[in-house]
Amino acid sequence: MMNKAFAVTLDPATSLQNHTGSWRTLRPVNVFKLPPCNNQCPAGENIQQWLFYAAEGDYEHAWRILTEENPLPACMGRVCYHTCEGKCNRGFLDESVGINSVERFLGDYAIEHNLAFKRPSKETGKKILVIGAGPAGLSAAYQLRRFGHSVHIVEAAKEAGGMMRYGIPTYRLPRNILDAEIKRITDMGVTIECGRKIEDIEAEKKNGKYDAVILGLGASVSAGADIPQGDTTHVLNALSVLGQIETTGEIEIARRVTVYGGGNTAVDVARSLRRIGAEPVIVYRRNREKMRANAEEMDAAIAEGIQVKWLSTISEASKDALKIEKMVLDENGKPQPTGQFEELPSDAVVLALGQNVDKTALSKLQNLQMEKDSVVVNNETMMTSIDGIFAAGDVATNDRTVTHAIGMGKNAARGVNAFLNGSTYKKPQKHDLAKFEDMHPWYYTDAPKTVRQELEVARRSNTFDEVQFGLTEENAIFEARRCLSCGNCMECDNCYGVCPDSAVVKLGPGKGYEFNYDYCKGCGVCAQECPCGHIKMVPEQI
């Protein structure tokens, strides 16, 4: 031991006795904001979280987080219209993150590695009947099973999958993928009974001693149109065309086909027909901006040589031609006839003007409140006007996408679970939206050009042959790593590093950070330099 001089010589790190936290007038706190992707996702996927793990290469962890909200990632990675990407904050920087392709990669990874869902840790003994094995029903069944309930699905069609099987062409969703993801749900103990259409829901519930029922019926009936037509005109509906292609792999149809409609189904039909050698022309009464179909799908369709007649209605059909009337949009955006006509050579017409739910069984339910084409449900609990009967998917909404169906299925399961526990499900309050202005974009790197080009191809490949063009692991990680982690910690250590007072404590991987208020002087550098906008300075209560 040295003989230290008084006062002039000091022992090391003795400043720790000086608690500079008392200087503070503002204190940093961690805030969790809702990333726009998550906010947008109809299935409520915690995208930022699963990208976080995907970026690390921990695919299973990522998949498990993903499947907390959505049991069908491999399917969704293909068929979801990924509106999340349209809201992605990265779009302000360069291009939005290819969330969908990473989801698909994770889904495929799980299939490839035989990842299974965990069975519930304990059984509740409650029985639930789910009607329809489409995305809503499967989602609801999966979530209910996770709660420990026993679930039985009754499906009218020959096979489970609903519109995923009978409404989506195989080039968008190979059936082995669908089968694998359905099997994973049945492996949890969910039973699916196919080929039976329940006519009397009340009786079924009562006889089967179900504690609750979820109506998961899809919109399986194509809407018709009143088109004056000759006898010989070949008019088909979209679902039957798609169903036939699904079942047989092809369809006998003329070369010149007109697809009538502007939704996703119209595009699916057109592109499917294109693949079997036809020359489809889409006729739509509004313009491109008003089109309901997914823009990427539409781009792909055009790229594949499919022609579109915008602002057109079919006023008359004959054997080999259609009489088309030109339309204009009025000030409300509604198409109005112009009285101008032209002729479109066409051997057949496929009507893709929307689908409806088969309401025959529903109409027998007394006191079931309906609105237009769907069942009225409580927005939070998803319960219909009848106690114990819930609804999800096409039957309960006009937003008839697979993603919506999955989200609604999940919500309905939560509603049922609360109902069975004697309470009412309340949706948790959403965090504030993570806005791009809250973030510190300087920190995010640009993609090197070569990698980006490679990715352009990869990102678009999922519109065609996925087996060949699916994302490589490299690209998936690459894409996951582009996530800005909006409003949520990505553990970049900035707060920990930039604190001039070493007053941020790093808790270790996955645990984030905490502030040491003994020393934090409240300068705010951590908040300023947090790339994600995860730190907020709030006034001290002095």
- Contact pick of 321, 359, 529, 536 for other proteins (by CB under 8 A): 529
**22 part of the interface to other proteins, by CB under 8 A:** no
According to the 3-state scheme, what is the secondary structure of 421-457?
CCCCCCCCCCCCECCHHHCCHHHCCCCCHHHHHHHHH
For the chain, the C-alpha Rg in angstroms (whole number) is 28
Report the distance separating Cα 276 and Cα 253, nearest Å: 10
Question: Are 60 and 115 in contact, with CB atoms under 8 Å apart?
Answer: yes
**2 part of the interface to other proteins, by CB under 8 A:** yes
Let me know the angle formed at the C-alpha of 30 by 25 and 36, rounded to the nearest 5 degrees.
Answer: 130
- Contact pick of 389, 485, 487, 515 for other proteins (by CB under 8 A): 485
**534 part of the interface to other proteins, by CB under 8 A:** no
**57 part of the interface to other proteins, by CB under 8 A:** yes
Enumerate the β-bridge partners of residue 538. 27
**385 part of the interface to other proteins, by CB under 8 A:** no
**288 part of the interface to other proteins, by CB under 8 A:** no
| Region binding other proteins by CB under 8 A among candidate stretches 142-150, 167-175, 367-375, 528-536 | 528-536
- Phi, psi at residue 209, to the nearest 5°? 55, 45
Q: Which of 357, 355, 348, 222 is nearest to 283 (CA)?
A: 348
* Residues of span 393-422 touching other proteins by CB under 8 A: none
Q: And the tokens for 439?
A: 């973030």
Q: Which of 532, 516, 529, 534 is nearest to 27 (CA)?
A: 516
CB of 244 to other proteins, least distance (A): 43
**Residue 56 or 380: which CB sits closer to other proteins?**
56
**496 part of the interface to other proteins, by CB under 8 A:** yes
Q: How many CA atoms lie within 13 Å of 52's alpha carbon, on the beta-carbon side?
A: 23
CB of 43 to other proteins, least distance (A): 24
- Contact pick of 482, 486, 533, 534 for other proteins (by CB under 8 A): 482
Number of Cβ atoms within 10 Å of the Cβ of 206: 10
**358 part of the interface to other proteins, by CB under 8 A:** no
x/- site string to other proteins, residues 448 to 467, per CB under 8 A?
A: x--x----------------
Question: Are 444 and 91 in contact, with CB atoms under 8 Å apart?
Answer: no
Q: And the tokens for 110?
A: 């799980």
Pairing of strands 256-260, 221-222: unpaired
* Residues of span 422-451 touching other proteins by CB under 8 A: 442-445, 447-448, 451
Enumerate the β-bridge partners of residue 355. 222
**55 part of the interface to other proteins, by CB under 8 A:** yes
**536 part of the interface to other proteins, by CB under 8 A:** no
**Residue 127 or 481: which CB sits closer to other proteins?**
481
* Residues of span 75-134 touching other proteins by CB under 8 A: none
- Contact pick of 402, 491, 515, 534 for other proteins (by CB under 8 A): 491
Q: And the tokens for 371?
A: 């609105």
CB of 209 to other proteins, least distance (A): 51
Q: Which residues bind other proteins (CB under 8 A)?
A: 1-20, 23, 55-57, 442-445, 447-448, 451, 473-474, 477-478, 481-485, 490-494, 496-503, 506, 508-509, 516, 518-519, 521-525, 527-529, 531, 537
